[in-house]
Amino acid sequence: MISSSLTVFSRHHRKARILFALSDTILGALAFQAAYVTRSHLGLPNYFEIDLARKVLLLAFSLVVVVGTAVWFRSYDRLDTAPLRTILKETTRQSVVTMVAVVLFEYVWRFDLSRPFVLFYGAYVWIFFALFRLRAGSLVRAFERSFGEPHYLMIVGAGESAVRIANTIEESAGYGLRISGFLTEDGETVDPRYPAHRLADLPKLLDRHVIDEIIFAVDSSRLAELEDVFLLCDEEGVRTRVACDFFPHVNSEIYLDRLGHAPLLTFSAAPHDELKLVVKRLTDIVIALAGMLVLAPILLFVGMLVRLTSPGPALFKQTRCGLNGRRFVFYKFRSMCENAEDLKDSLAQLNERDGAVFKIRNDPRLTPIGKWLRKFSLDELPQLWNVLKGDMSIVGPRPPVPDEVQRYERWQRRRLRMRPGLTCLWAISGRDAVDFETWMKLDMQYIDNWSLALDWKIILQTLPRVLTGRGAS
């Protein structure tokens, strides 16, 4: 299915990704050799040479990093249509990550590498990749023309959706896509730029013309009437696609799944890539377990400090809403007096936040050390146990209390479709200074743009904010 005016079918993008990965491998190897030769002929006092076995090992590792970085950040998805700024940004990121990885590899394996060699390698990677990618769009289109015949499509329908698809295909002509015409019912008019044929004439057209696939861009109510047309295409082996813009305001990603032998058209308004979600969960387990082991002395010290400075238990337990509204017991170090929840109604007039959240800057319920626990997020440390159990994730929307969820507007409930986390976009956008409406929109932005790379970006940006206490109150 065509997703925008700047893209073609996803299978064409798969070809482009393969081309970019192959070119990065070849250019990365050339950059490695160029850096090696340059350093060897510099005439520096220290003699430089890497034996063959180590050279092969280092080269293989660096090429894996080069391609892996691009795959991780999804650079290959946009390089053929990206503006200059994006190309230079993606290339710079690859070259810097590669240099850092080579240095770490050298440290772990005790290689004695020359620093100028590493710098030359990063510089050559940047130069070679940038020069290639500046012509990437033309090269991808030439690749399509050279290694694939023109791809002929026909469009069933005459409405706005059909015209929009036709225009997108025209813009993708450089990738080898061609419109053979429209198939319409009697009385329907189409864009005069394209040939129009009666839908009843499709059997003759299939006999006389090359038609690689047919796109159905019709109202959903007509699909049942077109069953014979679908069967004809199936018998002929003609690929068919259905434009699923029946609900124009739906932002969900649409994909086909199966339950047994029954095909299901699926609309997903939250991340659904099972493999990536498994990686996210494994990352959560590793970080939570490592955090609990490394921070055990701090956990013990803070727990004792809470008990010694105010009456009541060290841990505060509360029911929160997790993934898709599942209830779980949420843990924090207690930063308020023991009967804080009972006093909440009497302090309602002091609430400084709009929406469903209750927040007071100088909350009178705070214990003597409560403000400091919150400022540096020390009260949140017990939630590592929630992460380990699977109630929460390291990154995700903060878990709300059930009463807060009851007061959500309809669109705000979608934040429950992602496992709640210790930190999210709001934490790197001002923490307690962010108003409720913006907070909710940031959570939606996270869900709509989620990737493993985004999680790590949020984690790395959260750490300095937590250590300095910025944005907390």
CATH class of the region 149-249: alpha beta
CB 331 within 8 A of CB 319: no
Beta bridge partners of 153: 179, 213
Written as six digits, the tokens of 449 are 């743009």
Show the tokens assigned to 351: 């609430």
Tokens matching residue 191: 């864009």
Beta strands at 151-156 and 239-242: parallel, antiparallel or unpaired: unpaired
For residues 81 and 7, what is the distance between their CA atoms, to the nearest angstrom?
8
DSSP-derived letter for residue 258 is E
CA distance 358 to 354: 8
Q: Contact 404/376 with Cβ under 8 angstroms?
A: no
**Percentages (nearest 5) of helix, strand, coil residues in the chain:** 55, 15, 30
**Average pLDDT per run of 10 along the chain, which is 473 residues long?**
43 73 95 94 80 92 94 81 86 94 90 90 96 78 61 91 88 80 85 88 93 92 92 92 76 79 84 90 96 96 94 94 96 88 72 65 83 91 96 96 92 93 89 82 94 92 85 60
CA–CA separation, 121 and 414 (whole Å)? 46
| Per-residue burial over 279-293, b = 16 or more CB atoms within 10 Å of its CB, e = otherwise | ebeebbeebbeebbe
Q: For residue 8, what pLDDT is reported?
A: 52
pLDDT for 4 = 36
Sequence ranges of the domains in the chain: 10-141, 149-249, 274-468
Helix (H), strand (E) at residue 256: strand 253-259
Total number of residues shown for the chain:
473
What type of residue is 205?
A: L
Q: Which residue in the block uniquely carries the two structure tokens 């109202």?
A: 219
Pairwise CA distance, residues 291 & 401, whole Å: 25
Q: How far apart are CA 369 and CA 439, in angstroms?
A: 27
